[in-house]
Structure 1
Amino acid sequence: MTDLRPDLAIIAEHVAPGTRILDVGCGDGALMAALRDTKRVDARGLELDAGNVAAAVSRGLSVIQGDADVDLAEYPQASFDYAILSQTLQTAKRPDVVLDHLLRVGRQAFVSFPNFAHWRVRMSLLLGGRMPVTRLLPERWYDTPNIHHVTIDDFRSFVGERGIAVEGAWFLSGDKRTGTAAANIFAEHAVFLLRKPN
């Protein structure tokens, strides 16, 4: 699973074998295929982009076209062991509602997102006065799919206010893992494993 994007590799490492997953915003199905092939996971996917759906289906994956903001409401409660939302939270119209549904349909949920408080983002705004364009945030302000600019501290506060249990948290700087100390400044991406309150 070394050819997976770093946040997906973290998720794959922590998914238990033989479980049922729903990958929301699954892209071309790279994570689903890796989990199916290495951990015998029963994987389902939901993806907005028709080209990505076709690519995932061509891999023999069960993926349907749909919108997380609308279609997650149709899934039954606790129908998956894990619901996964990777690099999609910040593109949702109502990320709070999407997270509610994610934790409703999955017994646990993985959420990964870019950290908009990373020092490079801060420096770009401070010194250049412009929205950053980086390797991990390559779109310009007018063509980015990101509509909610979440930070690690924002997310921690959000889950804390809702009493959502954080079962695990991993942080990435570039393609390498970094520590939790000052992650809001030094991590470019975050991966959280969540469980809904009892």
Structure 2
Amino acid sequence: MVSAGARVLDVGCGDGALLRLLAEEKGVDARGIELSQRGVNDCVAQGLSVIQGDADTDLSGYPDDAFDFVILSQTLQATRRPRAVLENMLRIGRRAIVSFPNFGHWRIRTQLAFGGHMPVTRQLPTPWYDTPNIHFCTISDFIALAESIGARIERGVALDSKGEPLSWGGRSVWNLFGEQGVFLLSRRG
């Protein structure tokens, strides 16, 4: 979803694996912001341009249209203010790419309905009391949030357990069978 040579900000970039991949394979101007000092250290040790910061509070300091793409990979559910984070991403970037675990997946529903407890899966490997996830959302919830902030969904895909796109069904099927959602957003206008 990222075009070659683009200016990219990866929010919550972790150890920098995605930034490094985009820089090497797409020749992007890769920047990152990461909450954990360890993640920042890992990135800087690889020669990546990463600063320590919090998506909930520090994105507001970036200027409008500073990046072509702002990426939030597997982090939305761990932010305190997901709506504000998305709004800032679309303000500072021409496009936003967001990926997240789908809490509407049938396995999660089954564990909750029949097991009576919060699920632990390969995508969500920690018990509820240890998880960084504070906002559980489904693909349908995310689509509704994107629409509520006036974002245009340019592209969306649901990924299966192997990380492959679901090749059948529409968004309601994605919500039930997709383990992850990945969306490319832009501002309406």
TM-score range, shorter chain: over 0.9
Question: What is residue 65 of structure 1 aligned with on the other side?
Answer: 52
**AA at the equivalent of 1:194:** L
1:95-151 Cα deviation digits (max 9, x unpaired): 000001000000000000000000000000111000000111001010000000010
Q: 1:118 pairs with 92, 96, 105, which one?
A: 105
Q: Report how many aligned residue pairs link the two structures.
A: 185
- Report the identity percentage: 53
What SS does structure 2 have at the residue aligned with 1:97? Answer: helix
**Could you list the runs of 5+ residues in structure 2 that have no partner in the other structure?**
none
Question: What is residue 136 of structure 2 aligned with on the other side?
Answer: 149
**AA at the equivalent of 1:161:** S
Aligned partners of 2:15 and 2:39 also within 8 Å? yes
1:88 maps to 2:75: yes
Question: What is residue 18 of structure 1 aligned with on the other side?
Answer: 5
1:122-181 Cα deviation digits (max 9, x unpaired): 000111000000111001010000000010001111112332100111111112221353
Question: What is residue 135 of structure 1 aligned with on the other side?
Answer: 122
Q: Partners of 1:76 and 1:163 in 2: how far apart?
A: 20
**AA at the equivalent of 1:164:** A
1:46-94 Cα deviation digits (max 9, x unpaired): 0001111111111110000110001000000000000000111000000
Question: What is residue 104 of structure 1 aligned with on the other side?
Answer: 91
1:197 maps to 2:188: yes
**AA at the equivalent of 1:193:** L
1:18-58 Cα deviation digits (max 9, x unpaired): 11000000011111111111111001000001111111111
Q: 1:187 pairs with 170, 178, 185, which one?
A: 178
Aligned partners of 2:3 and 2:26 also within 8 Å? yes
TM-score for the superposition, normalised by structure 1 = 0.91
Q: How much is the aligned-residue C-alpha RMSD, in angstroms?
A: 0.9
Aligned partners of 2:31 and 2:50 also within 8 Å? yes
What SS does structure 2 have at the residue aligned with 1:177? Answer: coil
**AA at the equivalent of 1:24:** V
**Could you list the runs of 5+ residues in structure 1 that have no partner in the other structure?**
1-13
